[in-house]
Amino acid sequence: MPVTARREREKQQRYEDIVDAAEIIFNENGFANTSMDEIARAAQLSRALLYVYFKDKAAIMRAVMLKAMQAMEARFANAFTAEEAGMKQIKGIGCAYYAFSVEESDYFDMLTELNTFPDPEEPDLVAEGMLRCRQNLDGMMVQALENGIKDGSLNPEHIGDPLITAYILQGSLHGVIMSTRKPKNPNVAQVDSEMLVKRAIDMMCYAMAA
């Protein structure tokens, strides 16, 4: 009689209901302009119940951010397995990052916010999930770089420590895409952002090519 198990499943379901509802509202109004009341209404629950499942609004936000990271991880994995050669894998991951930023732009923006978002007071399951996700992302990049060194498509001299290079690639690509997303600078708004990002990817690849 797995009654405990069913309870557990229902609890999990409520949790996801809340996160799914919050995701919509956050994307509509932004984190700061969203109240717990709105989330509760969207999830058809009482506001007080939200506090049973989450410490506060920021904790809900982090749960949504984890979803965003996992969505990106899936795209990275697709791009990674679609190619054999290291250079092509790197380029593929770069393009996947850009596609992600266009096709799941809300998630991309959440990952941008994550950079300035406060960490939880005490690590929880969400933080743990984020960490695993990050490690997977890093792992794929490192693997691709090592592949490229082995298969001769990348220059080991230019890459040095693959982990460091992976950080550089991720950071710079995120920065470039980010700078084209909310164009407070009217000049940037006018440029073709796809071309710009592709050029950035090409520059990095050129700098690493054998």
Partner DNA sequence: ACAATTATTGACAGTTTGTCAGTTATTGAC
Partner DNA sequence: GTCAATAACTGACAAACTGTCAATAATTGT
- Residues near DNA (CB under 7 A) are 1, 3-4, 6-7, 11, 14, 34-37, 45-49, 51-52, 56-57
- 147, interface contact from DNA, a copy of itself, none, CB < 5-8 Å by kind: none
- 41, interface contact from a copy of itself, DNA, none, CB < 5-8 Å by kind: none
The residues pairing with 188 across neighbouring beta strands, listed in sequence order, are none
Q: In the complex with a copy of itself, which residue's Cβ is closer, 74 or 163?
A: 163
Told to check if 204 binds a copy of itself by CB under 8 A, we report yes
Site string for a copy of itself, 94-133 (x = CB under 8 A): ---------------x--xxxxx-xx----------xx--
Of residues 1, 44, 125, 184, which one binds a copy of itself by CB under 8 A? 184
User: Cα separations (Å) of 3 from 71, 74, 198?
Assistant: 32, 33, 53
The torsion angles phi and psi of 197, rounded to 5 degrees, stand at -65, -40
Told to check if 173 binds a copy of itself by CB under 8 A, we report yes
d(CA 39, CA 99): 29
- 153, interface contact from DNA, a copy of itself, none, CB < 5-8 Å by kind: none
Q: b or e along 123-162 (b: 16 or more beta carbons within 10 Å of the residue's beta carbon)?
A: eeebeebbeebeeebeebbbebbebbbeeebbeeeebeeb
Q: In the complex with DNA, which residue's Cβ is closer, 47 or 174?
A: 47
d(CA 178, CA 162): 24
Rg (CA), the chain: 20
> What are the residue ranges of helices labelled H in the chain?
3-29, 36-43, 47-53, 57-81, 86-103, 105-114, 125-151, 156-159, 162-181, 186-190, 193-208
Q: In the complex with DNA, which residue's Cβ is closer, 11 or 182?
A: 11
Told to check if 36 binds a copy of itself by CB under 8 A, we report no
- 82, interface contact from a copy of itself, DNA, none, CB < 5-8 Å by kind: none
**Site for a copy of itself, rule CB under 8 A:** 30, 32, 109, 112-116, 118-119, 130-131, 134-135, 138, 158, 160, 163-165, 167-168, 170-182, 184-188, 191, 195-196, 199-200, 203-204, 206-208
